[in-house]
Structure 1
Amino acid sequence: MTTVAVVGGGCAGVLATRELLSNTDSRVVLIEPDEPGGGLAYGAARPWHLLNSRAGAMSADPRDPGHFARWAECSADDFRPRLEYGRYLRAVFSDISGRSGTRLTVRRSRAAGLSATGVVLADGREVRADHVVAATGNPAPAQPAACPDHPDYVADPWAKGAIEAIPSDVPVLLIGAGLTAIDVALTLTEGDRDAPITAVSRRGQLPLTHTAVAAPPVGPVLDDCMTLRDVVRAVRAEAARAGDWRAVVDGLRPYLDELWTAFTPDEQDAFLRHLARPWECHRHRMAPSVGARVATLREEGRLEVRAGGVRSMSAPPAGGLLVELEAGVQWFGAVVNCAGPGRLPGAAGSFVGGLLDAGQARVGPHGLGLDIDASGRLVAADGRVQGDRWLIGPLRRGAKWETTAVPEIRAQAHNLTIPVG
């Protein structure tokens, strides 16, 4: 019987474990130091943090799209709390664990690296496995070049208690204006905070907002598109015809990986420089109630969004940080990094960094993730495809594009083609 080790017990790890136990006769060893099913996205959320996808898109079962909505007893159009989705993943894991008996083993440990015969744990022991699925989530957060080693600089907003420790009477700077910044702003304003919050990013663009009810997806006609410029032109034309750009963005989603891999490296670079941020704002949208809350905070002057960058930071003796922005130098009682995932190899965690150091993996295109073949198998530093080592989740980005959301990760888990021996 084949043994598969799954490294990581967040969303990707749970979905991979479920698929392997449901569709193969393999034994599975899940390696995760914490309770499976939490992960960064759902384990560290607060009650006011909502999913940015509708319940109808969040099923763990690719054959049963309504599974999560039924479990949560809600409409497919609802935007549910992320904490609730974490409970759902734990329930999914508990169900498959109960039905799999001795075929599933959970090792509550951290993976330190790979050996010729399996996974090496942090305590030096080894989990022997015929195949390994790496499901370790995003790279570490990107750190601004000017970031200081200072108690009032929060390098990781998801660290336990980091945001709650910020006093309510000091102005706060958020570096970044994406969904992480929105989550932090919601947490900071959940209590009696009166001090202002400023979010700064290169473009000063916040994520856009979902409609209450989803329009049917509209796929743009891409048959004659040969270049990135052609695709952009076709998408804009279809959005003008459709009347709601959201339907076109959603209709484009199934084709994104095919488009991404068809672009030349120069076109991919151009997309990352000029179009990635506008695309993210349109693609990864806020729930309607979150969008309304953010609009109110801005109207009340409690949240300001600025375009530009952080030029420098310094620490005055009295505490806080002096930050040089494009408009000048300003004092903040705390600065929170909300810049999103960094690039490899610098942002690699200990496990992924170990793979890179050992030549068992190599950095993928543009440093966004690890390199893989068309099936999702890791490519070593010497260019050899690792036939028994697989990758799913956000670290496929670069080789693929649309690989961070539950529907795509669910499909990756379902499509693992691990041979049964």
Structure 2
Amino acid sequence: MSGQAEGIAIVGGGFSGAMLAARLAERGVTSTIVNRTADFGLGVAYSTPFDGHLLNVRSSRMSALADRPAHFVDWLKAHHPDSADPDRFAPRRVFGLYVQDRLRTVETAHPGTIRRVVAEVAQIAADGVQLADGSVIAARAVVLATGNPAPRTAEAGASPRVIADPWATGALDRIGADDDVLIVGTGLTMVDMLLMLDGRGWTGRATALSRRGLMPRVHGERPDPPRQPTETLLSGPLSLRLNEARRLSRGGGWREVMEGLRPITAELWMQADLATRRRIVRHLRPFWDVHRHRLATTIGVTMDRLTAESRLTIVTGRVRAITADDRGVRLDWRARRGEAPPLTAPWLIDCTGPGHAADADPLTAPLIHSGRARLDPLRLGLDLDPLGRVLDREGRPASTLFVLGPPARAAFWETIAVPDIRKRIEDVAGALRA
């Protein structure tokens, strides 16, 4: 690799990185996407080969383009007509094909504006990125779009019986058809793993542990109309706003309340003071997550079946220790109301969700230690300004370093779903073009 300027360097080639590159190309800005694999556009979410893994958002809202809301549905009609119902939840594998097709289409229409590099980024330099082989991609700005990291609750490599990264290739292949499993975490990752196992003909039982025992809620049969937020819901002490949300939910349904909040969630988060944000993270976040990030209706039916068959049991408590030998895994835990006997099974799967730790990440930790970046006060990630620019130790925004997608949650809270990320893409693309 040469040291010549390469426009914008984008670290990470999942949805966020690939669609940012496409948008930049359409605005006449060149970029280089650096990804660990050749599967540009997929990331963790859309690289699954299992068609039972469905989108958590209806197809009508999954356009990659903010100004063309029907773009994904139109693509489905042309390429996958069996999945083209705008009110259905398309397979995530199919959405990954859509993202890849859009990237290729833009590359064809704007030749020479997007460069793909399969490599490991070792360091964010002052003038670009350094790769693991020592070569450098020079750039006038760098965008970190590294997606969701693997969970961190279970120690990777501690035992082959402990599946620390459930999304690793072949991670579930060792689990026998009738093996029981322990799962730490009861959110979306747990659901994905059980769906994959069940789809393979697995007949074992799963015991899942989380601190509150909450599972993701399910979408309604039809799209829910948004309920206009009241002034009380949008301002004032958090306790009063929560009471207002409950009141509105009793009157018209909680899904309608969540739909009304969805377009303005990031704005409300940015307006909140530190004390309010801290209370949200400490007390409200688990309840928000299970109501906000919901399951497709058919997936909800599958989870109900597993529960009714006594093949899924959820327990509430905290992990104390995980030990394993060549025969199985022992999970010592403390129940919410006191001691509990240990749980045992041949396998344990860590489904605690993304293990974001900016001060331990090999790319972002050096930025923090050198003063080029800082953690946000709640340690959710790097501290950013409203454009997604990294703030240095003194709180000054860097005009050449941006964060996009899930790693930007400290600044925007909602940076996981496509409708939220595509808005951030427009903001970042506008700033980089300027």
TM-score bin (small chain):
over 0.9
Partners of 2:157 and 2:110 in 1: how far apart?
49
Asked whether 1:370 is paired with 2:373, we answer no
Question: In the alignment, is the contact (CA less than 8 A) between 1:139 and 1:344 conserved in 2?
Answer: no
Asked whether 1:113 is paired with 2:123, we answer yes
- 1:213 CA displacement: 0.9
Matches within 5 A, 1:118-137: 118-137=128-147
Give the structure 2 partner of residue 152 of structure 1.
Answer: 161
Give the structure 2 partner of residue 385 of structure 1.
Answer: 397
Give the structure 2 partner of residue 398 of structure 1.
Answer: 410
Question: In the alignment, is the contact (CA less than 8 A) between 2:7 and 2:29 conserved in 1?
Answer: yes
Matches within 5 A, 1:291-302: 291-302=300-311
Matches within 5 A, 1:401-416: 401-416=413-428
Moved over 4 A (4+): none
Give the structure 1 partner of residue 90 of structure 2.
Answer: 80
Aligned AA for 1:391?
V
Give the structure 1 partner of residue 29 of structure 2.
Answer: 26
Among 336, 345, 356, the alignment partner of 2:349 is 336
- 1:2 CA displacement: 8.3
Asked whether 1:91 is paired with 2:101, we answer yes
Matches within 5 A, 1:34-45: 34=37, 35-45=39-49
Report which stretch shifted further, 333-342 or 185-194.
185-194
Call closer, same or farther: CA 1:138–1:369 in 2, change over 3 Å.
farther
TM-score by length of 1: 0.93
Question: In the alignment, is the contact (CA less than 8 A) between 2:44 and 2:148 conserved in 1?
Answer: no
Partners of 1:205 and 1:259 in 2: how far apart?
24
Asked whether 1:58 is paired with 2:70, we answer no
How many residue pairs align between the two structures? Answer: 416
- 1:147 CA displacement: 8.1
Instruction: Kindly provide the CA deviation profile for residues 253-284 of structure 1, in whole angstroms up to 9, marking residues without a partner as x.
Output: 12222222333322222221221111111000
Question: In the alignment, is the contact (CA less than 8 A) between 2:384 and 2:410 conserved in 1?
Answer: no
Aligned AA for 2:331?
V
Call closer, same or farther: CA 1:163–1:245 in 2, change over 3 Å.
same
Question: In the alignment, is the contact (CA less than 8 A) between 1:225 and 1:231 conserved in 2?
Answer: yes
Asked whether 1:231 is paired with 2:231, we answer no
**Identical pairs, percent:** 34
- 1:162 CA displacement: 0.9
Question: In the alignment, is the contact (CA less than 8 A) between 1:174 and 1:336 conserved in 2?
Answer: yes
Question: In the alignment, is the contact (CA less than 8 A) between 1:227 and 1:263 conserved in 2?
Answer: no
TM-score by length of 2: 0.91
Partners of 1:110 and 1:198 in 2: how far apart?
37
Runs of 5+ consecutive residues of structure 2 not aligned to the other structure:
78-83
Partners of 1:312 and 1:33 in 2: how far apart?
33
What SS does structure 1 have at the residue aligned with 2:94?
A: helix
Runs of 5+ consecutive residues of structure 1 not aligned to the other structure:
none
Give the structure 2 partner of residue 320 of structure 1.
Answer: 328
Give the structure 2 partner of residue 10 of structure 1.
Answer: 14
Among 201, 212, 215, the alignment partner of 1:203 is 212
Call closer, same or farther: CA 1:193–1:138 in 2, change over 3 Å.
closer
**Superposition RMSD on alpha carbons, in Å?**
2.0
Report which stretch shifted further, 91-100 or 255-264.
255-264
- 1:25 CA displacement: 2.0
Among 266, 270, 276, the alignment partner of 2:275 is 266
Call closer, same or farther: CA 1:212–1:114 in 2, change over 3 Å.
same
Aligned AA for 2:47?
G
Asked whether 1:190 is paired with 2:199, we answer yes
Aligned AA for 2:349?
V
